Amino acid sequence: MPEKPKILPDGSLNLPDGSTYNGSLVFNNEDGLSKLPNNLVVNGTLQLWKCPRLKVLPDHLVVREDLVLSDLPGLIALPEDLKVGTHLHLRACPGLASLPRHLSISGSLIAEDCTGLTTLSDILSVDTLSVKGCPLLLSLANTVSASNIDIAGCPSLVNLASSLSVKIWISLADCPRLLSLPASLKVGEYVFAVGCPLLQLPDNYKIRSDVEPNSGRKAVKATPKKGLFGLF
């Protein structure tokens, strides 16, 4: 295991631009860390927790495994060409308003309590997309493809994506302004929704009649093609 880089007085690491670090890097409660080297490649996981001086990540950053960004109040931007080998987990990054337009992720995208986040990426293809507690989020992306989607506690969300393909299920909770799902919606199995009182479904969904009126579920609908049911 290589030696962990040290933080220099100017807030940088003692790594030159273009470095490749063969292992995982974890920085937790590092008040002095303010920047990482450009063109950094991490052949492992990169975790940055509670580094209040860190405002941006470097250009051309490549993380071969997970990238975890948590409790970073100063973070305002991610590099446009960010590449993440498995999962990107964003938690409590209130200054982050958007994600890179062409974000490259091989695994899942999880965003929690990012209170300034308004938009995701233009094109997003992930295993699981989970967005919770992002009150300013208006939409997901132009094109979204995922195995599972879990959206909760996004009161400003008015639409999901112009093109949305979900291999297994999509769950929507407490999105009171969400009006509709895309007409071209493709879901392999289930669609669930609760706390979305304005939500209208595409015409190719039909309402089941065995829903309790005051159960808190808007309706139960089934795709005629597969006959599988979702809770609304």
So what's the pLDDT on residue 123? 85
Q: What is the pLDDT of residue 142?
A: 82
* CA gap 203, 62 in Å, rounded: 43
pLDDT of residue 179: 84
Does 100 or 68 have the greater pLDDT score? 68
What pLDDT score was predicted for residue 209? 39
pLDDT for 207 equals 43
pLDDT, position 204: 59
In this prediction, residues 206-224 reach a mean pLDDT of 41
- pLDDT by residue (tens digit) across 68-79? 999 999 999 999
The predicted-structure confidence for 148-206, as pLDDT tens digits, reads as follows 999 999 999 998 887 888 888 888 899 999 988 887 777 877 788 888 887 877 665 54
Smallest Cα–Cα separation from 177: which of 193, 161, 199, 162? Answer: 199
Average pLDDT over residues 44-73: 96
Q: Is the pLDDT of residue 57 over 50?
A: yes
Contact 139, 118 (CB under 8 A): no
* Contacts for 54 with CB less than 8 Å, ≥ 6 apart: 33, 34, 35, 48, 72, 74, 75
pLDDT in tens, 6-50: 999 999 999 999 999 999 999 999 989 999 999 999 999 999 999
pLDDT value of residue 202: 67
pLDDT of amino acid 146: 92
Average pLDDT, the chain: 85
Give the per-residue pLDDT at 21: 96
Could you report the per-residue pLDDT of 108-143, keeping only the tens digit for each? 999 999 999 998 888 889 999 999 999 999 988 788
Burial class, 118, CB count within 10 angstroms (exposed 0-12 / middle 13-18 / buried 19+): middle
Q: Average pLDDT for residues 199-223, to the nearest whole number?
A: 48
Are 12 and 34 in contact, with CB atoms under 8 Å apart? yes
Contacts of 135 (CB under 8 A, 6+ apart): 115, 153, 154, 155, 156
- The residues, any chain, with a CB within 8 Å of residue 227's CB and separated by 6 or more, are none
Q: Which helix (H) or strand (E) holds 167?
A: strand 163-173
Half-sphere exposure of 124 (CA within 13 A, CB side): 32
Q: Residue length, the chain?
A: 232
pLDDT score recorded for residue 139:
86
Q: What is the pLDDT of residue 205?
A: 57
